[in-house]
Amino acid sequence: MIVRESISFERGKDPKKTLGIGQRYFIEKWLDEMEIKNYHINDDFTIDIIKKPGFDGRVDISNRDLIELPEYIQFNIVPGYFAISNNLLTTLRGCPKYVSNNFWCSRNELTSLEFCPEIVEGSFICHHNAKFFNKKYVSSLCKTPFSRIQS
């Protein structure tokens, strides 16, 4: 008995995406679910947010009952603010490496700031977590103006 299956691929499209498989597909699906627009997925699957006219480059995934970001999500550059407050986060894995504005991770269940951004040009706001984080600890992990750390 011979079984033949027919799979239709869209011309010029990634076959894995057409089939609904592959890391890029899962990243795009999650970003769409989180209503994150204007992004670029790099070759290493990190995510850069693109600042465009009428869009300030921000990411706000607060109030989503997130415990952690999916393992396939790794933000890289965010040219606006990055807000991930008021969730149930136990880790910052997947957060961006660079944020040009404010970084909010307040009101979560964090006991560590491991995986926080390496550079935050604005304020670093991390109060009301499972553990108190002092300014010295934040400064040891992230280059941000000392006076703009709110813990």
Domain chopping of the chain, boundaries:
39-145
Note the pLDDT of residue 46: 97
Q: Walk along the chain (151 residues) and give the pLDDT tens digit of each residue.
A: 665 555 555 666 666 555 556 899 999 999 999 999 999 999 999 999 998 888 889 999 999 999 999 999 999 999 999 999 999 999 999 999 999 999 999 999 999 999 999 999 999 999 999 999 999 999 999 999 888 888 8
Note the pLDDT of residue 55: 84
Nearest Cα residue to 105 out of 68, 146, 74:
68
Note the pLDDT of residue 25: 94
Distance of CA 14 to the CA centre of its chain: 24
Dihedral of CA atoms 71, 102, 137, 68 in degrees, nearest 10, equals: -20
Note the pLDDT of residue 54: 82
Nearest Cα residue to 55 out of 78, 73, 32, 75:
78
Helix residue ranges, H only, 4-151: 15-19, 23-33, 135-141
149-150-151 Cα angle (round to 5): 110
pTM of the model: 0.83
Task: Give the burial class of 35: count Cβ atoms within 10 A of its Cβ; 0-12 exposed, 13-18 middle, 19 or more buried.
Answer: exposed
Note the pLDDT of residue 47: 98
The Cα 39–Cα 96 span in angstroms is 13
- The label of the residue with tokens 């499209």 reads 13
The answer to whether 75 and 94 have CB atoms below 8 angstroms apart is yes
